[in-house]
Structure 1
Amino acid sequence: MPLVWFAAREPRRSVLWAVLGSMVVILTPFIAGISAGDRVTELARLLVGVLVYTALALVVNELSRQYAAQLRLSEEREAVVRTEITRAAEVQRSLLPGALADTPGYALAGTCLPSTTVGGDFFDWYRTDDGVAMTLGDVMGKGVGAGLIAAAVRATVRSSRRDPDPGAAIVRASEGLATDLADGPDSVVFTTLFHARLRGDVLHWADAGHGLTVVVREDGGAERLSTPDLPIGLGLGLHDAWETRTTALCPGDLVVCFSDGVLDLFGGGLDSVEHVAALARRDPRPSSVVDALADLARELGHDDDVTVVALRREPVAAPVAGDVLAPVAVAAPTAP
């Protein structure tokens, strides 16, 4: 065992220490004069023992060196992967939208808390010629692969910003993610998506298999926005059209869209939508709703990505005679 312990050290000189140790053990009876038999025979036996232990030490040392080299290579590769994943996370965070400027009458907030370094959820908003657009998507799976698909879907939907039809934007995103179902079910990667445009008092929206959007009215009522339309990325032949619907959105009404990671915070059922609506009733400011859900996710922990985006038509104060209404300040997005 001492021989193996010494020889397992990576430097080649470890073999010498192992052999010398073996020689000392073998020579001790010979030097002390307590060995029996012919001294020539004992010396020959010593020589054979040293050769055998030297060969064993060389084999153990070489195996140790090979293992150490493989371990260093694995660590280097792991460091490269970690660096790439960290960089991917930084790029993903850079794609999150900033505060909207010069948009009186609207308040928005959002956050995305990935379960891993890179998540498959995303949200977005931007100004249009006649209002505001908002998007939330949830890609099947986690990690870098899901993050790449999320970035591609976001970019495709954004490229349709001049098209006033949300359903058309989803069709374009679906075309970019179309997969050949003949390659087998493992090749299918789908994304649930909610995309809406608010123009005046009307919310034009399309839902691709998401179904986790609720409108909380100023009077406390709630309306869930969902459709039977399928997620995108399932193949053009399976589903190639998404219907655009409209919902009246009066001043003071709030739209909250979230990913299925939020459901897990309330037990995993669709009744979680009502829990989100209850949070909104207590404080209808988008930033407050987003912060409350983000704090809950951090407190409870989450195995799935948690993403929330909230849009509110700000209440219009009753004008005082002789006064001009000032623009409403826009809430900044919650940091992820």
Structure 2
Amino acid sequence: MSVEPLSTRFVLPPAVEAERVHAVDQLYLLDSPPEDRFARVTSMARCALGVPMAAVSLIAADRQWFKQADGLDLDGSIPREQTICQATIARSYDEDLSPLLVIEDTRRSEFAELPAIRAEGGIRFYAGYPLYGPNGHAVGTFCVYDTQPRTFDAGQRRTFVELAAWAERELQSTDDLERAAAVQRQLLPSPLAELPGYTVHALCVPAYAVGGDFYDHYPVPGGVVFTLADVMGKGLAAAILAATVRSALRGASRAVERSGAESDIADAVTAVARQISDDLSSTDSFVTLVHMMLHTGEGLLDYVDAGHGFAVHIRSDGSVAQLRGDGLPLGVSPEDAWTSRRIRLEPGESVILASDGVLDLVSDGCDVRPALQFVAGCTDPAELIGRIRGLSGAQQPLDDVTLVAVRREPL
């Protein structure tokens, strides 16, 4: 009597498998570098359960890829049909079966002919549990192995399932971060389609998946508003506050425009500071920013520097001057107010706004002179953005890297 191959016994319906593989892809983890948060789970499993091997893996369409594999001699992935985990995944879709699969002696199981089991010193004990993505599909497995047959008592099974839940939370937090990063990228403005006489380039590279920097620009009657802001801190907490600042500043700027009075961009900054004062105080945060209004017809540039410190004017003769600004960051003093200053951007001149992360790339972060020299050597905004992008790609940034470059084209 012929025996059905393992690769066909554990096949899900095509529609279900397609959705499951899509859920794996949405985690953006396949072939990613090792991470300590998964190593902590596998290390704890080996210690608590007394097993020599533990792993967190994703099950793709044709392979099992190991995000973390302790005690296993692997190159990263093995063909899916050569794994016991294909059964763990398939069982998770059968409501009549427990998701926990324990095989006390693999050589006395239907998997006895798998290479990892037949090999000398191969796997003789297996315990696996499916890991579910946020959409409910089984995307991977948490497994422990031994080279000797053994059993798991009720307490060990509970411990194993709790460790699997920990690994699953880490997978799902990865998805949450990627979704947050995607939203943050979508909140960055689209390139200005038409701005006759001017060229604008911008860049934002978070140090982590998400960051506290942002830039913004949008047309208003008579010109364009530009903003570059840096919320204290990094990661998701800073990103939440950055989104709040961006939204508040856009709303305040448009309210000032609709007021009908002689508009001053400082009024918008002051209004935002009042609006988010309680939020910044309760989170012990502050925000530095440069907020600018470019009157495109005359080349006049009104700006407010709220404790930011690196906004520079590249003049037509090649000299570089920092834009003067003595305002405090938002969140330092709830009763503070800001004032605007004005310069003229002549044909062939540029203004550059940069975050601390840019300074870290081109100087020691304390002395701005190397940064000024670096900027002066890039009169073309596209070249400047390209060089900063290259530097941030060559070394892991310690801080979010954000840059806005506006050039008035020569006549």
Instruction: Label 1:120 to 1:13 Cα distance change in 2 as closer, same or farther (>3 A).
Output: closer
Whether 2:339 is the aligned partner of 1:253: answer no
Cα gap change, 1:281 to 1:311, in 2 (>3 Å): same
CA positional deviation for 1:14: 4.8
Could you report, residue by residue, the CA deviation over 1:278-303 in whole angstroms, capped at 9, with x for unpaired residues? 34433312121111112112223211
Which amino acid counterpart does residue 156 of structure 1 have in structure 2?
A
Match of 2:278, SS state, is coil
Structure showing greater radius of gyration is 1
Aligned length: 265
Equivalent position of 2:242 in the other structure = 150
Q: TM-score w.r.t. structure 2 length?
A: 0.59
Question: Is 1:71 the equivalent of 2:163?
Answer: yes
**What corresponds to 2:321 in structure 1?**
223
Question: Does the alignment pair 1:203 with 2:298?
Answer: no
Q: For 2:280 and 2:167, how far apart are their aligned partners in 1?
A: 38
Between the aligned partners of 2:310 and 2:207, the Cα distance in structure 1 is: 19
**Per residue, is there more helix in 1 or in 2?**
1
Change (3 A) 1:69 1:280: same
Match for 2:266 among 151, 157, 167? Answer: 167
Q: Is residue 213–residue 257 contact of structure 1 (8 Å, CA) maintained in 2?
A: yes
Correspondent of 1:300 among 395, 403, 407: 395
Alignment of 1:257-296 (within 5 A): 257-272=353-368, 274-296=369-391
1:91 aligns with 2:187: no
- The match for 2:405 is 310
| Partner residue, 1:106 | 198
- Cα–Cα, structure 1 residues 78 and 180, in superposed 2: closer, same or farther, change >3 Å? closer
Q: Aligned-pair distance for 1:180?
A: 7.6
1:136 alignment counterpart: 228
Answer yes or no: is the 8 Å Cα contact 1:216–1:277 preserved in 2: no
Q: 1:204, 1:268 → 2: CA distance?
A: 30
Judged with a 3 Å threshold, the aligned counterparts in structure 2 of structure 1 residues 143 and 128 are, in CA distance, closer, same or farther, namely: same
SS for the counterpart of 1:218 is coil
CA distance in 2, matches of 1:84, 1:73: 16
Higher relative contact order (CA 8 A, sep 6+): 1
Question: How far 1:182 sits from its partner (Å)?
Answer: 8.2
Q: TM-score, with normalisation over the residues of structure 1?
A: 0.72
Q: What's the Cα RMSD here?
A: 2.7
Q: Using the alignment, how far apart are the partners of 2:385 and 2:373 within structure 1?
A: 13
Percent identity of paired positions between Structure 1 and Structure 2: 37
Contact 2:362 2:374 in 1 (8 A): no
Runs of 5+ consecutive residues of structure 1 not aligned to the other structure: 16-56, 317-336
What is the distance in 1 between the residues matched to 2:343 and 2:334?
A: 28
If each structure's strand is expressed as a fraction of its own residues, which one has the higher value?
2
- Residues 126-184 of structure 1: CA distance to partner in whole angstroms, max 9, x if unpaired? 1121112111000111111111111111111112344342211211221232138986x
Corresponding residue for residue 233 of structure 1: 331
Q: 1:124 to 1:13 in 2, by over 3 A?
A: closer
SS in 2 for 1:242: coil
Residue 157 of structure 1 aligns to a residue in which SS? helix
**1:29-51 deviation line (CA, Å, top 9, x unaligned):** xxxxxxxxxxxxxxxxxxxxxxx
Kept in 2: contact 1:180–1:235 (CA 8 A) = no
Residue deviations 1:12-59, cap 9 Å, x none? 7859xxxxxxxxxxxxxxxxxxxxxxxxxxxxxxxxxxxxxxxxx99x
CA distance in 2, matches of 1:281, 1:268: 17
What is the rounded CA distance, in whole Å, between the counterparts of 1:208 and 1:182 in structure 2?
Answer: 17
